[in-house]
Structure 1
Amino acid sequence: MDYRQSTSSSANSGLIAGAAGIAKNLFGLLVSRIELAALELGEVRGNLARLLLVSAFGIVAFWFALASWTVLLVVLAWDTWGWKILLLIAVVYTLLALAMLFQVRSLLGNGKLSMPATMTELRKDRDALLDVRGSDS
């Protein structure tokens, strides 16, 4: 009788130790993913700050140049073209705005503000956990 109780208690302690080991490994995995995400977020934050600063200065300079050239063009062409110069300028500026929109979308599409390594690791973790859960069923 004593032998059965000692076997049963050692099995329970092995089960508890195994569950504690799994919990420890899952916690370690979670901590490593959080560290990776924090590292990439720092990099993204730096890139985003640089992008916003350069964009702000570029926009201000662009507006000053645009206003100056527009006034010069209107003054020089008003006697010949009249109101049609304003229509031409509006069309040109609209095309320019569309070109800039496509350029910004292209820059954002390159993935400079994403976290590819973190997302890849999280997908691997998800797939591994789903495979383990699927094989248990």
Structure 2
Amino acid sequence: MTENNRTSPPLSSVRKIGKSVLEIAKSRIELIGIELTQEKERLLEIALLSLSAMLFGFLGLVVLTALIMVLFWETWRWQAMIVILVVYLLLALFCAAFARKILRDAPLPFEGTIAEFEKDYITLHSD
């Protein structure tokens, strides 16, 4: 019976530690799932809004181009075409540069999860 008492406390401590580790892992996995869902929803919203903006922008540019060409057809036809081309190219370069900036400045995915793992690491190593 004395031998049983000696092995029980360490075994129960190991079980408690194992249970704590599993609970921490479970909460971190749930956090990853929540952040992944939020990121997916954000990207879908951005994609739909971007596609809508491109569609309406394209339609507006077609109408604007047609209007300018009709207005200048008799007098400045080639010059109007060149100006429209240059404006469209400059707008395309601006949009590409702005999109690149957004991607470069975007926060890291799973920032909250990484922060929690760092807290766990500090807690474990401070004891």
Q: TM-score, normalised by structure 1?
A: 0.72
Distance 2:86 2:119 in 1: 50
Aligned to 2:15: 20
Correspondence 1:37 to 2:41: no
Distance 1:90 1:70 in 2: 10
Amino acid of the structure 2 residue aligned with 1:42:
T
Distance 2:58 2:52 in 1: 10
Go from structure 1 to structure 2 and tell me whether the alpha carbon gap of 1:125 and 1:91 turns closer, same or farther (over 3 Å shift).
farther
SS of alignment partner, residue 80 of structure 1: coil
Aligned to 1:53: 48
Q: TM-score, normalised by structure 2?
A: 0.76
| Structure 2: runs of 5 or more not aligned | none
Distance 2:6 2:82 in 1: 86
Aligned to 2:88: 93
Deviations 1:53-92 (A, max 9, x none): 2111111111111111112223323443343333322221
2:69 to 63, 69, 74: 74
The answer to which of 117-126 and 30-39 deviates more is 117-126
1:10 to 5, 11, 18: 5
Distance 2:32 2:115 in 1: 11
Deviations 1:101-131 (A, max 9, x none): 23334544353x83332221123334555x3
| Structure 1: runs of 5 or more not aligned | none
| Corresponding residue pairs, total | 126
Distance 1:96 1:28 in 2: 52
Distance 2:32 2:58 in 1: 38
RMSD of the alignment, in Å? Answer: 2.8
Identity of aligned residues (%): 30
SS of alignment partner, residue 17 of structure 2: helix
